[in-house]
Amino acid sequence: MYYANVSQQLPHASRVIEVTGNGKVMATPNYVQIQIEVQTRGKNVQEAQQENAIIMNRVIQSLLALHIPRENIQTAFYTISPVYDYEDGKQIFKGYEVTNAITVKVTDTSQIGEIIDTAVENGANRISSIQFNIGNVDAYYQQALSLALQNAQMKAKTIAETMHLPLQPQPIEIVEELEKAPVLYRSMAMVDSKISTPIEQGQIAINATVRVKFQY
């Protein structure tokens, strides 16, 4: 995003200080998305599909029993792929692999471990991602942006005072460097269902960066 003070025109012999300001705010995620997969193999497509459907239905029912709203459970992807093995340099057809992945949105982050354990106990064999998110990220970003502007102003002031320059306090140009929305990921494969799965959500850093020009 670009902000320019169009009312101020730089004099021909103007001198400019350009600084970069950074701001960071830490926030606790308030919801998480877990991608749960069921992978099955069979000698033919129907066999692999049927087994997969039985297991995935069992997984979904177990999640509903944990009071996860049905609208918070969505299919992420569904694939059918041939499986080959190699013996003596020759490709040998072994059957088909079916993968059904669902994304589960969880607003009570204390349930994460229980949800993973329950899914695995009911047949899920891969947890491909755990994605922590912040629903009101814009409010945190505005705080980070304010800190970035203050940081830029402080840098310019330090430079001017050190070099004995007559700094003009009003910036003549501000350029906001946009970043992608912050997301915290966790990944894991098979989970030992005999052990309660500990998941620490941690915090997410929301960063803002600006480039600011001051005249002196």
Quick one: pLDDT at residue 8? 47
What is the predicted pLDDT for the residue at 200?
67
Would you say the pTM of this structure is higher than 0.75? no
Residuewise pLDDT in 10s, the chain (216 residues)? 544 443 344 444 579 999 999 999 999 888 999 999 999 999 999 999 999 999 999 999 999 999 999 999 999 999 999 999 988 889 999 999 999 999 999 999 889 999 999 999 999 999 999 999 998 889 999 999 999 999 999 999 999 999 999 999 899 999 999 876 665 555 444 444 444 566 666 788 999 999 999 999
Tokens for 4?
């320019």
Q: Which domains does the chain have, with CATH numbers?
A: 2-28+136-193+201-215 (3.30.110.170), 32-133 (3.30.70.2970)
Q: What is the pLDDT of residue 32?
A: 93
Sheet holding 126-133, edge to edge: 73-87, 90-106, 31-42, 126-133, 184-186
- Environment class of 124 (CB within 10 Å of its CB; exposed 0-12, middle 13-18, buried 19+): buried
Query: In sequence order, which residues have a C-beta less than 8 Å from that of residue 36 and are 6 or more positions away?
Result: 59, 101, 102, 103, 104, 116, 119, 124, 126, 127, 128
Confidence (pLDDT) at 189? 45
Q: How far apart are CA 179 and CA 50, in angstroms?
A: 44
